[in-house]
Amino acid sequence: MKPGAGLYVHVPFCLTRCGYCDFNTYAGLDHLRSPYVEALLCESNLAARAWARTPFVSIFLGGGTPTTLPIEAMVRLLDHLRKEFTVIATAEVTSEANPDTVDETYLRGLRRAGVTRLSLGLQSFDPAVLRSLERLHSAESAVGAFRAARRAGFGDVNLDLIYGAEGETPGSWRETLERTIALEPDHVSAYALTIEPATALGRRVAAGLSPAPDGDLQADLYGVACELLDEAGYEHYEVSNWAKPGRRCVHNMGYWEGRPYLGLGAGAHSYRDGRRWWNVRPPQQYLGEVGAGRLPVGGEEILNDDEHRLERLLLGLRMAEGVPEEWVGGAARADDFVARGLAARRAGRLALTDRGMLLANELILELAG
Ligand code: SF4
């Protein structure tokens, strides 16, 4: 039996485009929604044969905003994927959702379609932060969506947060975390705002119209998240992810554990046996390729043994379990990380501390160098 794989489906539509976002997603392409769903069904037919003997342990509908699709399309898509692929009965099936795109009726429809887990983009309880992120929804509508999800029967809900945006203070971030924890979500993801040059926010920062995030402040905010979520019983199992016991995200664990995954949709990435490939990004081009009966592959790379080892190390270090210490180059280097307070030895492995996780990207560069 092959290792459990993940199935990712990219839905590149959003109500509006948030200024900080550099995902492959578009506002104003609503007329493509229906042909896009048809193309996803066709692409899954084209891809299924090569994955016939692979059990899928998770499906993740991401974007973009998958919940901009009508519920009938979601039902049809998920039914089709279950027919085309070997999706195990207990598979985790996640849909991302923007609070303004869902109500209880829609969420009940998602449950009936077999979605087991909802990931809601809450981002912040601070109205100033939501404004500077150009999020349409208010904190109240996000809370409303969370409560509707519980009423609809979602026993597994993630809340996504972003910290370090303009206008945020340690006090308002603490309040965001406290109000998030009070809702008792099963999982919390908290990401530092990063500025991507090719975004509206990136251009504003470059022009001096908006401040760049303050790295020291973001480090303090990360520390507050580690402290409050730990006190509330969440396990810090990956650099940016915390879960109640038994509620880690199976799908995202697959990426960090190096398990295979198949991505469907515009710009989606796939990985198996050391080969990584990705689909063409523009939705129109994607529709054209699939419409012509071709797999819409835009590029690929084959990892050599060294690249594969490095990638396994970098992904493994992001996880709470850490890695065997020989992966980082032996005892001397492990001693150095421990002495700097960046890592600890646990059960014969080397795992990053909260401080090490904060500096994960720098450490990864150090190890790669
Ligand atoms: S809703 Fe999410 S995916 Fe869509 S533009 Fe905003 S941040 Fe990007």
Q: Are residues 315 and 225 in the same domain?
A: no
User: Domain holding 21: CATH number?
Assistant: 3.20.20.70
CA atoms within 13 A on the CB side of 262: 29
Measured between alpha carbons, how far is residue 115 from residues 93, 103, 155 in Å? 5, 15, 11
Q: Let me know if residue 37 belongs to a domain.
A: yes
In a domain, 197, yes or no: yes
Residue with CA nearest ligand 1 atom 2: 64
Distance between CA 351 and CA 345 in Å, rounded?
Answer: 6
pLDDT of residue 60: 98
Cis amide bond preceding 64, omega within 30: yes
Contact 261, 254 (CB under 8 A): yes
Residues 85, 190 share a domain: yes
Mean pLDDT of 198-221: 93
Tokens of 188: 């919390």
Cα 11 to ligand 1 centroid, rounded to whole Å: 11
Q: Are strands 5-11 and 55-63 parallel, antiparallel or unpaired?
A: parallel
| Residue 249 token pair | 């995200």
Separation between Cα atoms, residue 42 and residue 286, nearest integer Å: 11
pLDDT at 2 over 70: no
In this structure, the residues whose C-beta lies within 6 A of any atom of ligand 1 are 14, 17-18, 21, 23, 25, 63-65, 98, 121
Q: Give Cα separations from 339 to 108, 243, 343, 357 (angstroms).
A: 51, 28, 8, 15
What confidence tens digit (pLDDT) does each residue in 288-340 have? 999 999 999 999 999 999 888 888 998 999 999 999 988 888 788 889 999 99
pLDDT score for 346: 87
Residues 28 and 128 in one domain: yes
Structural domain contains residue 276: no
What's the gap in Å between 14 CA and the centre of ligand 1?
A: 6
**Parallel/antiparallel/unpaired status of strands 297-302 and 275-279:** antiparallel
Mutate to test the pocket of ligand 1, among 15, 18, 68 (most ligand atoms within 8 A of CB): 18
Q: Which residues contact 292 (CB under 8 A, 6 or more apart)?
A: none
Whether 312 and 235 share a structural domain: no
Residues 352 and 249 in one domain: no
Counting atoms of ligand 1 from 1, which one is nearest the CA of 16?
A: 5
DSSP 45-101: HHHHGGGTTPEEEEEEEEES-GGGS-HHHHHHHHHHHHHHSEEEEEEEEEEEE-GGG
**Average pLDDT of the chain, as a whole number:** 94
Last residue of a domain, one of 187, 221, 256: 256
Q: What does the pLDDT average to over 157-162?
A: 97
Q: Mean per-residue pLDDT for 15-41?
A: 95
Give the tens place of pLDDT for each residue, 44-97: 999 999 999 899 999 999 999 999 999 999 999 999 999 999 999 999 999 999
Residue 275 lies in a domain: no
If you write DSSP's letter for every residue of 287-318 in order, what string do you get?
HHHHHTT---EEEEEE--HHHHHHHHHHHHHT
What domain range is 354 assigned to? Answer: 306-368
Q: For residue 361, is pLDDT > 90?
A: no
Please choose from 10, 65, 159, 201 the residue to mutate so as to test ligand 1's pocket, defined by most ligand atoms within 8 A of CB.
65
Q: Are residues 35 and 177 in the same domain?
A: yes
Taking the C-alpha atoms of residue 212 and residue 209, their distance in angstroms, rounded to an integer, is: 10
Q: Residue 207 pLDDT > 90, yes or no?
A: yes
pLDDT, mean of residues 132-156: 92
- Which stretch of 15-19, 107-111, 134-138, 145-149 has the lowest confidence by average pLDDT? 134-138
Q: Is residue 152 part of a domain?
A: yes
205 and 326, same domain (yes or no): no
User: 177-186 as b/e, with b when 16 or more CB fall inside 10 Å?
Assistant: beebbebebb
Residue 327: per-residue pLDDT = 87
Inform me whether the pLDDT recorded for 103 exceeds 90: yes
Q: By the 8 A CB rule, do 97 and 67 touch? A: yes
Asked if pLDDT for residue 167 goes beyond 90, the answer is no
Residue 180 has pLDDT above 60, yes or no: yes
Can you read off the two tokens belonging to residue 93? 């099936």
Label residue 187 by pLDDT band (50, 70, 90): very high
Query: Residue with the nearest Cα to atom 6 of ligand 1?
Result: 18
Shortest-distance Cα residue to atom 3 of ligand 1: 64
Residue 18 CA to ligand 1 center (angstroms) comes to 5
Evaluate if residue 1 carries a pLDDT over 60. Answer: no
Determine the pLDDT at residue 330: 78
Q: Is 227 a member of any domain?
A: yes
Give the distance (Å) from ligand 1 centre to CA of residue 199: 12
Residues 154 and 16 in one domain: yes
Per-residue pLDDT, 67: 97
Q: Are residues 70 and 132 in the same domain?
A: yes
Atom of ligand 1 nearest to the CA of 63: 3
The one-letter amino acid code at 12 reads P
pLDDT in the model for residue 239: 95
Report the domain count for the chain. 2
d(CA 272, CA 263): 11
Q: Is residue 299 part of a domain?
A: no
- Cα separations (Å) of 179 from 5, 63, 151, 186? 35, 26, 19, 14
Considering the domain boundaries, does residue 286 fall inside one? no
Q: How far apart are CA 124 and CA 163, in angstroms?
A: 8
- What is the H or E stretch that residue 320 is in? none
Give whole-number Cα distances, 360 to 133, 224, 357, 363, 364, in Å. 25, 17, 5, 5, 6
Say what the pLDDT of residue 254 is.
97
Atom of ligand 1 nearest to the CA of 27: 5
Indicate if 74 and 164 belong to the same structural domain.
yes
Instruction: Report which protein residue has its CA nearest ligand 1's atom 7.
Output: 21
Say if residue 357 is in the same domain as residue 214: no
| Burial degree of 296 (CB within 10 A; 0-12, 13-18, 19+) | buried
Measured in angstroms, how far is the CA atom of residue 103 from the centroid of ligand 1? 19
Q: Is the four-CA dihedral 80, 87, 14, 207 of positive or negative sign?
A: negative
Question: Residue 369 has what pLDDT?
Answer: 62
Query: Among all chains, which residue has been given the structure tokens 């401040």?
Result: 211
Nearest atom of ligand 1 to the alpha carbon of 98: 1
Domain match, 43 and 168 both? yes
Whats the size of the chain, residue-wise?
369
> 22 C-alpha to center of ligand 1: Å?
8
